[in-house]
Amino acid sequence: MKYILMILTSLACTITAAWAGTDDAPTVLSNADAIKMVQTHANYVWTLVAAVLVFFMQAGFAMVEAGFTRAKNAINIMMKNLMDFSMGSLFYWAIGFGLMFGVSKTGFFGTTGFFLSDFEVGGDPWVLAFWMFQVVFAATAATIVSGAMAERTKFTGYLVYSAVLSALIYPIFGSWAWGSLFNGSGWLEGLGFIDFAGSTVVHSVGGWAALAGAIVLGPRLGKFTKDGGIKPILGHNIPLAALGVFILWVGWFGFNPGSTTTADTSIAMIFVNTNMAAATGCVMAMIVSWIKFGKPEVGMSLNGALAGLVGITAGCANVTPGSAIIIGAVAGILVVFSVMFFDKIRVDDPVGAVSVHGVCGAWGTLAAGIFNIGGTSIKIISVQCIGMASCFAWTFCTAFILFKVIDSTMGLRVSPEEEIEGLDSTEHGGNAYPDFSANH
């Protein structure tokens, strides 16, 4: 590319010389200016392509959640995922982006940039590309909660939650860790907090909000017996869930490498780290489930891949591929025991969202400090722990209060009769599978 630019510049200079003495001679860019222009255009293209890949993850989340739950709730799940992005886009445009990336005097939230006011006609279009990449992240955090609250949540109550998370809960914590990526300055990043692509900022925020929602809602009917036993409620379409995981795996190649917002050679290692952690997480979850249950369990294996992806997200740019394998392996083991733990304490999470995103997001954030290429220290690890703790405290508390308010006003949970019949019929007046029994 460099030599091509030199040839083109030389040709342009020749043409200019031929036109010397005229008033309309073209202005020729220097080599440095031409290279800078090409790099800028490449950055825009890469950032927006990555945004498309992350947007496609919405389809993956929808497929995973639908596959892991019962057929009678499939339409409801599609509607929730559709609204997470649609409503999330509007509320993040109006409020969330300004809180997250606006100018901040306190380090706790931004105060400018609401309604994309940083962009005016003739202004720097980078704000538009940057906003587009950030809004798909905000929608990801909101969508994570959907799986943990599946099969018993009122649609109206869910819409309120989705709007508030996109407008307030996610952006305010995001400003603490990422504010300086645009116009802000967060107190947490000022301490040296490492979370390159969002193990905590995106995934743990979604995971801890999911935990709050699952606790306020309570378990699905029939999930736990009176004597303390656990009754599995099987998903209706595991191939659909597997397709969703593969879509998410692909989307993560935009999620992590795209967080550079720069088209350069650094994305190669991020691609490799992302893939190796996912693969190792999948293998380790399969092995652990095989030992625990006597068979290589597909649901745990699928969640193992996602656990590895979540785990590597914080440190994908600052750990080696060997470290990425270790991070993914621990995440794959951790997710199996975490799912079993939450079942044991009677927190009903149909898709394992709390374990995959909350728990493994926390592990990945800690691991980013432990395996940091530049070296680690007690101070680095302490800052990582502060970030993890502040995320849990902020997100769980605000989400819990939000769900309690919704529950005491408009209602958060459908009636037992509606839950038994299925939300597709009672909430949306439809049936995703007209020729298939709703009890499956």
Q: Is residue 109 part of a domain?
A: yes
Residue 24 located in a structural domain: no
What number is the average pLDDT over the span 194-223? Answer: 98
pLDDT above 60 (res 11): no
* Mean pLDDT, the chain, whole residue set: 93
CATH code, 392 = 1.10.3430.10
Which residue has tokens 């692909």? 250
- Residue 196 domain-assigned? yes
CB 145 within 8 A of CB 138: no
pLDDT tens, residue by residue, 23-51: 444 456 789 999 999 999 999 999 999 99
Other CB atoms within 10 Å distance of the CB of residue 19: 12
User: What share of the chain has pLDDT > 70, as a percent?
Assistant: 92
Residue 263 has pLDDT above 80, yes or no: yes
Residue at 51 is within a domain: yes
Residue 292's domain comprises 41-425
Q: According to the model, what pLDDT value does residue 20 have? A: 44
Asked if the model's pLDDT at residue 180 lies above 80, the reply is yes
How many distinct structural domains can be found in the chain?
1
pLDDT band at 228 (very low <50, low <70, confident <90, very high): confident
pLDDT single digits (tens) 308-347: 999 999 999 999 999 999 999 999 999 999 999 999 999 9
Report how far residue 220's alpha carbon sits from residue 214's, in angstroms, rounded to the nearest whole number.
10
Give the pLDDT band (50/70/90) at residue 436. Answer: low
Query: Given pLDDT bands bounded at 50, 70 and 90, which one contains residue 159?
Result: very high
Instruction: Give a three-class secondary structure readout of the chain.
Output: CHHHHHHHHHHHHHHHHHCCCCCCCCCCCCHHHHHHHHHHHHHHHHHHHHHHHHHHHHHHHHHHHHHHCCHHHHHHHHHHHHHHHHHHHHHHHHHHHHHHHCCCCCCCCCCCCHHHCCCCCCCCCHHHHHHHHHHHHHHHHHHHHHHHCCCCECHHHHHHHHHHHHHHHHHHHHHHHHHHHCCCCCHHHHCCCCCCCCHHHHHHHHHHHHHHHHHHHCCCCCCECCCCCECCCCCCCHHHHHHHHHHHHHHHHHHCHHHHCCCCCCHHHHHHHHHHHHHHHHHHHHHHHHHHHCCCCHHHHHHHHHHHHHHHHCCCCCCCHHHHHHHHHHHHHHHHHHHHHHHHCCCCCCCCHHHHHHHHHHHHHHHHHHCCCCCCCHHHHHHHHHHHHHHHHHHHHHHHHHHHHHHHHCCCECCHHHHHHCHHHHHHCCCCCCCCCCCC
Q: Is residue 128 part of a domain?
A: yes
- Residue 311 belongs to a domain: yes
Q: Does 320 reside within a domain?
A: yes
pLDDT band at residue 72 under the 50/70/90 scheme: very high
Residue 412 is predicted with a pLDDT of: 98
Report pLDDT digits (tens) over 122-144: 688 999 999 999 999 999 999 99
Q: Give the pLDDT score at 73.
A: 98
Q: Is residue 66, in this structure, part of any structural domain at all? A: yes
Predicted confidence (pLDDT) at residue 282 exceeds the cutoff of 50: yes
Identity of the amino acid at 102: G
Tokens of 388: 């993890």
Residue 194 and residue 372 in contact, taking contact as beta carbons nearer than 8 Å = yes
**How large is the average pLDDT for residues 418-431?**
97
pLDDT at 121: 53
